[in-house]
C-alpha cells in the first residue's frame, strides 16, 4: 500500500527538475561559437554553463545572440570552469589579474559587437567572463537590447553581469562597453577599461532606450568620454498621439499614430510625465488616466495646463529610464591621456651620404608616431618630437633620418621643415611599419602641410552625465580625474534635461540624489544644463530639471592645472531647476590667479525660466576670483535675478568673500583660517580628514553631527556600503535604495 501511495504521489507531484551543469570545452586550441550557442539553446532555467577558462570562444561576423528564454525567476548562469579559489568571491570586484581564469568570448570581425540579446529574453547571469572589444573597437562590446526597439516587450530583462571584465584595446580604444536597452539589469563587481575614442564620446556603460531598473554597483569604470551616460539620443520606446476632440486643459480624446502602438501601453505609465502640444508651445503634466486599449480613446492629465490643445496637436509619452542606482563605483580617467594616446618620440637623428639630389639649404626634421588602427579609421598621432639638429647642405645631397619607434605605433610621420619654429614651412611623408629610418636621395615625394605640435587626444567630457533620468541615486562613488580642453569644460558631473534630436518632447530629469561621493583631480565639479537643445536647432525645449539633491559630497584637488583653458567655473548653472538642494558639501577648489568662479549662473538672462525653491546651505567653498556670479553683480543680486523670491542661501562658507554682498548668514572667513578648522585639510592632492576639529565656529553652525560641510562619517560609511548615514530625502524625493 505504501509503495502504491508513493507511486501515486510521484505521478501527481513529480520531483522538481534538477539543474544541470553543461560544460563547453575545446578539443584543441580555441573553439568557435557553435558549441556555446548549442549549450545556451539547450539550457533549461537554472542550468549552469561552464566554459573552459583561458581559451577563446571566437566569433567571426554577426555577434553572438543570447537566445530567447523566460528564466527570470531561475536564471541560467554562464561562467568559467576555473575553480572558485582562483576567482574573487561574491561581492568582490574582479580585474585583469583574474583574466587567465576567466572564460573569454572574442569577436574577430572589425566593428561588430561581441554579444547581443534576443528581443524579450530574460533570466541570464554572466559571471567570470572576459569580453574584449572587436578590432578597432567601434560600437558596443555588448548590446543588451536594440536601441531602435519601440515596444516594452522587445526589451531584454532580468540580466546580471557579475565579475565580468569588459575592455577596449590600449591604443585603439572602444566606443562603449555595454548599451542598456532593457530593464532590470544588474552590473556588479566588474571591471571596464580602455573605453576611449577619437572624435566620439566613449563610455563603459550607457543607456538611451532602456526602461530602467538598473543597478550599477562596485565596478571599476574607465572611459574617456564619460564613466556613465544616460541619454545622448532620443528614445525610440514612446507613445505618440494626436488630439481628435473633447480637448480641455485637463484631457483630450486621442488616437495613437505609430504602427503597432495602442493606448494599452500607457496604463503602466499613469503618473509619469507627458508633453502636450498647444498653439503657444509645449505644456507639461503627468498622465492621470487612460480610457481605451486600442488606437482610439481618451486620456487625462494633472495638473491642468494653461491652454487646451487643438484637434491635430500632438501628445507624447517619451520613455526615460527610471529607477537607477549607481553605487560604490570607482570612475576614472588615466591622467596620462592628457599627454597623448601615443608617447611623443625623441628628436630624430640625421646623416648625409655625399650623394643625392636633395636641394642645398638648411633643413630641420621632426617625427610623429602614429597608429592607423583606431576605430572609425581615424589615426592617432603623437605630439611632434623636438627638431633634429639643423642639417645644412652646401650642395645637393642625400639625407637619412633615423628615429626610435614608439610602443603602440605602427608607423612614423616624418616632417621636413626649413624653419625650426615656423610650422608652415614644412612637408611630410609617412613610413608605415617598423622601419626606423628613411633615406631621401631627392626622389621621394613630400606633401606640403602645416606641422602640428600637439597630437591626437581621446575626447574627454565628464565623469558622469545624464541627459535624462527619473529616480536616480548616485552614492558612495569615487570620481577620480577629469580635465578640460579635450572636448569638455572639465566638470565631473554634467546633469541635464535635453531634447537631443528634436523628437523627445518630454526628455526630462527628475528625482535625483547625488550624495556621499568623492570627486578629485578635476578643474570643476558640477555643470547643470536644464531645458537644453542643440545650438541653432530650433527644437522644442523640454521641461526643467525637477527635484535634484546634491548632498554630503567631498570635492578636493579641484584645480586649474586640470584645464587647458584660462579659467574654470567650479559650478556652472544654465537653465531653471525646480527644487534644487545643494547642502553639506565641502568643495576644496582653490585658485586666485585664474578667473575661477565658485558658482556661476551662465545664461545671462532668464528666457528659459527661473529657478524655483533653490536651497543652498551648510556648504564650504572658496570665493576664488568671482565667487557666486553671473547676474547683475556678485552675491545676493545674482540670486535675486535667477531665483527671485525662491531661494534659501544660508550658513555657507564662501572663504575670502566680501560678506557685505552675500546673504546675512554667509561666513567669509579667510581661506587659511578655514583650512585650520579641519583635522587634516590635506594638501589638495592626497586628500586628508575633512572633519571639523570639534572646536570651531563651524561645528555647531548646522544641524547634524558634522557641522557645516561634509559629514566624513556618513561619507566613509557609504564608500564601503554602509548606507547614507541617515540622511533623508529633501524636497519629496523618493529614495530608491
Interval 127-156: pLDDT, tens: 999 999 988 777 899 999 988 888 888 999
In 3-state terms, what secondary structure has residue 9?
helix
Report the C-alpha gap between 453 and 290 in whole angstroms.
62
Q: Quote the pLDDT of residue 592.
A: 58
- Burial of residue 536 (CB within 10 Å: 0-12, 13-18, 19+) is exposed
User: What mean pLDDT is reported for the chain?
Assistant: 88
Is the pLDDT reported for residue 367 higher than 70?
A: yes
Cα–Cα–Cα angle for 371, 411, 428, nearest 5°?
Answer: 105
Q: What is the mean pLDDT of residues 33-37?
A: 89
Is the pLDDT reported for residue 721 higher than 70?
A: no
Report the C-alpha gap between 350 and 523 in whole angstroms.
42
Is the pLDDT reported for residue 400 higher than 60?
A: yes
Q: Are 472 and 324 in contact (CB under 8 A)?
A: yes
Higher-pLDDT residue of 736 and 285 is 285
Taking residue 403's Cβ as centre, other Cβ atoms within 10 Å add up to 24
Interval 453-502: pLDDT, tens: 999 888 999 999 999 999 999 999 999 988 887 777 888 999 998 888 87
Q: Cell 639630389 appears where?
A: 357
Residue 398 φ/ψ region, left for φ over 0, alpha for ψ in the -120 to 50 degree band, beta for the rest: beta
Q: What is the mean pLDDT of residues 59-76?
A: 94
Higher-pLDDT residue of 703 and 418 is 418
- Burial of residue 485 (CB within 10 Å: 0-12, 13-18, 19+) is middle
> C-alpha grid cell for residue 471?
529616480
Mark 298-326 as b/e (b = at least 16 C-beta within 10 Å): bbbbeeebeebbeeebbbbbbbbbbbbbb
Q: Quote the pLDDT of residue 586.
A: 93
Q: Quote the pLDDT of residue 33.
A: 83
- Burial of residue 720 (CB within 10 Å: 0-12, 13-18, 19+) is exposed
Q: Quote the pLDDT of residue 687.
A: 63
Q: Cell 617598423 appears where?
A: 434
Higher-pLDDT residue of 620 and 1 is 620
* Lowest mean pLDDT segment, chosen from 300-304, 471-475, 594-598, 673-677: 594-598
Report the C-alpha gap between 326 and 509 in whole angstroms.
16
Is the pLDDT reported for residue 722 higher than 50?
A: no
Q: Are 239 and 247 in contact (CB under 8 A)?
A: no
Q: What are phi and psi of 399, to 5 degrees?
A: -120, 130
Is the pLDDT reported for residue 45 higher than 60?
A: yes
Q: Quote the pLDDT of residue 411.
A: 93
Q: What is the mean pLDDT of residues 174-201?
A: 93
Q: Cell 483630450 appears where?
A: 252
Interval 350-365: pLDDT, tens: 999 988 999 999 999 9
Q: Tell me the residue ranges of DSSP E strands in 524-589.
A: 524-532, 545-551, 554-558, 571-574, 577-583, 586-589
Interval 315-348: pLDDT, tens: 988 888 999 999 999 999 998 888 889 999 999 9
Q: What is the mean pLDDT of residues 662-690?
A: 84
Interval 420-450: pLDDT, tens: 999 999 999 999 889 999 999 999 999 999 9
Domains and CATH numbers, the chain: 20-223 (no CATH), 238-318 (2.40.10), 323-333+466-732 (no CATH), 341-448 (no CATH)
Distances (CA, A) of 387 to 403, 438, 456, 586: 12, 16, 19, 47
Higher-pLDDT residue of 505 and 452 is 452
Q: Quote the pLDDT of residue 594.
A: 54
Is the pLDDT reported for residue 727 higher than 60?
A: no
Q: What is the mean pLDDT of residues 526-541?
A: 84
Confidence of residue 593 (pLDDT cuts 50, 70, 90): low
Cα–Cα–Cα angle for 148, 266, 160, nearest 5°?
Answer: 50
Report the C-alpha gap between 687 and 566 in whole angstroms.
25
Is the pLDDT reported for residue 576 higher than 80?
A: yes
Q: Which residues pair with 125 in a beta bridge?
A: 77, 160
Q: What is the mean pLDDT of residues 222-226?
A: 94
Interval 97-130: pLDDT, tens: 999 999 999 999 888 899 999 999 999 999 999 9
Q: Quote the pLDDT of residue 323.
A: 93
In 3-state terms, what secondary structure has residue 86?
helix
Q: What is the mean pLDDT of residues 387-408?
A: 94
Q: Quote the pLDDT of residue 731.
A: 41
Confidence of residue 234 (pLDDT cuts 50, 70, 90): confident
Q: Quote the pLDDT of residue 683.
A: 56
Is the pLDDT reported for residue 695 higher than 80?
A: yes
> C-alpha grid cell for residue 473?
541615486
Confidence of residue 311 (pLDDT cuts 50, 70, 90): very high
Q: Which segment, 57-61, 486-490, 610-614, is predicted with the most confidence on average?
A: 610-614
Interval 270-308: pLDDT, tens: 999 999 999 998 999 999 999 999 999 999 999 999 999
304 contacts: CB under 8 Å, gap ≥ 6: 248, 249, 250, 285
Is the pLDDT reported for residue 226 higher than 60?
A: yes
Q: Quote the pLDDT of residue 14.
A: 40
Amino acid at each position: 500500500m505504501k509503495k502504491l501511495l508513493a507511486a501515486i504521489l510521484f505521478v501527481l507531484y513529480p520531483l522538481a527538475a534538477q539543474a544541470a551543469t553543461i560544460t563547453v570545452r575545446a578539443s584543441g586550441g580555441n573553439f568557435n561559437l557553435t558549441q556555446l550557442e548549442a549549450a545556451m539553446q539547450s539550457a533549461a532555467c537554472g542550468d549552469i554553463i561552464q566554459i573552459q577558462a583561458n581559451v577563446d570562444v571566437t566569433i567571426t561576423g554577426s555577434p553572438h545572440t543570447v537566445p530567447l528564454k523566460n528564466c527570470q525567476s531561475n536564471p541560467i548562469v554562464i561562467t568559467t570552469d576555473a575553480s572558485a579559489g582562483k576567482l574573487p568571491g561574491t561581492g568582490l570586484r574582479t580585474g585583469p589579474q583574474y583574466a587567465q581564469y576567466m572564460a573569454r568570448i572574442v569577436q574577430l570581425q572589425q566593428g561588430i559587437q561581441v554579444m547581443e540579446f534576443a528581443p524579450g529574453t530574460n533570466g541570464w547571469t554572466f559571471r567570470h567572463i572576459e569580453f574584449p572589444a572587436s578590432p578597432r573597437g567601434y560600437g558596443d562590446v555588448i548590446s543588451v537590447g536594440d536601441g531602435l526597439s519601440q515596444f516594452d516587450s522587445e526589451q531584454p530583462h532580468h540580466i546580471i553581469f557579475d565579475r565580468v571584465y569588459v575592455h577596449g584595446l590600449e591604443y585603439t580604444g572602444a566606443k562603449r562597453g555595454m548599451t542598456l536597452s532593457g530593464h532590470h539589469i544588474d552590473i556588479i563587481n566588474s571591471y571596464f577599461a580602455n573605453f576611449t575614442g577619437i572624435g566620439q564620446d566613449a563610455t563603459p556603460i550607457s543607456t538611451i532606450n532602456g526602461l530602467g531598473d538598473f543597478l550599477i554597483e562596485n565596478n571599476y569604470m574607465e572611459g574617456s568620454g564619460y564613466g556613465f551616460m544616460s541619454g545622448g539620443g532620443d528614445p525610440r520606446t514612446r507613445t505618440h498621439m494626436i488630439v481628435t476632440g473633447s480637448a480641455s486643459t485637463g484631457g483630450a480624446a486621442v488616437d495613437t499614430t505609430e504602427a503597432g502602438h495602442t493606448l494599452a501601453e500607457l496604463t503602466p505609465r499613469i503618473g509619469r510625465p507627458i508633453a502636450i502640444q498647444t498653439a503657444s508651445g509645449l505644456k507639461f503634466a503627468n498622465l492621470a488616466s487612460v480610457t481605451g486599449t486600442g488606437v482610439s480613446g481618451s486620456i487625462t492629465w494633472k495638473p491642468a495646463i494653461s491652454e487646451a490643445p487643438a484637434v491635430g496637436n500632438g501628445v507624447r509619452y517619451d520613455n526615460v529610464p527610471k529607477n537607477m542606482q549607481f553605487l560604490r563605483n570607482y570612475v576614472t580617467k588615466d591622467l596620462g591621456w592628457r599627454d597623448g594616446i601615443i608617447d611623443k618620440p625623441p628628436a630624430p637623428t640625421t646623416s648625409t651620404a655625399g650623394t643625392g639630389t636633395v636641394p642645398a639649404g638648411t633643413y630641420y626634421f621632426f617625427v610623429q608616431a602614429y597608429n592607423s588602427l583606431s576605430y572609425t579609421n581615424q589615426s592617432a598621432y603623437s605630439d611632434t618630437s623636438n627638431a633634429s639638429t639643423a642639417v645644412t647642405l652646401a650642395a645637393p645631397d642625400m639625407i637619412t633620418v633615423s628615429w626610435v619607434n614608439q610602443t603602440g605605433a605602427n608607423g612614423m610621420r616624418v616632417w621636413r621643415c626649413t624653419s625650426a619654429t615656423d610650422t608652415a614651412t614644412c612637408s611630410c611623408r609617412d613610413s608605415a611599419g617598423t622601419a626606423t629610418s628613411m633615406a631621401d636621395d631627392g626622389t621621394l615625394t613630400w606633401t606640403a602641410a602645416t606641422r602640428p605640435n600637439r597630437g591626437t587626444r581621446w575626447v574627454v567630457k565628464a565623469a558622469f552625465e545624464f541627459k535624462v533620468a527619473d529616480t536616480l541615486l548616485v552614492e558612495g562613488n569615487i570620481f577620480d580625474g577629469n580635465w578640460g580642453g579635450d572636448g569638455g569644460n572639465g566638470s565631473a558631473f554634467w546633469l541635464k534635461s535635453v531634447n537631443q534630436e528634436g523628437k523627445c518632447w518630454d526628455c526630462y530629469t527628475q528625482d535625483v540624489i547625488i550624495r556621499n561621493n568623492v570627486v578629485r583631480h578635476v578643474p570643476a565639479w558640477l555643470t547643470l544644463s536644464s531645458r537644453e537643445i542643440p545650438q541653432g536647432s530650433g527644437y522644442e525645449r523640454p521641461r526643467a530639471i525637477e527635484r535634484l539633491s546634491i548632498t554630503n559630497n567631498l570635492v578636493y584637488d579641484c584645480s586649474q592645472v586640470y584645464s587647458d583653458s584660462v579659467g574654470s567655473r567650479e559650478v556652472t548653472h544654465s537653465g531653471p531647476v525646480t527644487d534644487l538642494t545643494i547642502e553639506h558639501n565641502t568643495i576644496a577648489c582653490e585658485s586666485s590667479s585664474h578667473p575661477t568662479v565658485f558658482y556661476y549662473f551662465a545664461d545671462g538672462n532668464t528666457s528659459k525660466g527661473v529657478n524655483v525653491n533653490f536651497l543652498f546651505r551648510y556648504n564650504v567653498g572658496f570665493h576664488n576670483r568671482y565667487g557666486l556670479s553671473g547676474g547683475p553683480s556678485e552675491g545676493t543680486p545674482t540670486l535675486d535675478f535667477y531665483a527671485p523670491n525662491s531661494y534659501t542661501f544660508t550658513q555657507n562658507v564662501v572663504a575670502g568673500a566680501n560678506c557685505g554682498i552675500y546673504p546675512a548668514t554667509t561666513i567669509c572667513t579667510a581661506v587659511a583660517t578655514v583650512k585650520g578648522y579641519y583635522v587634516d585639510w590635506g594638501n589638495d592632492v592626497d586628500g586628508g580628514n575633512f572633519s571639523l576639529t570639534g572646536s570651531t565656529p563651524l561645528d555647531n553652525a548646522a544641524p547634524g553631527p558634522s557641522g557645516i560641510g561634509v559629514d566624513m562619517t556618513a561619507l566613509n560609511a557609504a564608500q564601503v556600503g554602509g548606507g547614507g548615514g541617515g540622511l533623508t530625502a529633501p524636497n519629496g524625493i523618493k529614495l530608491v535604495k
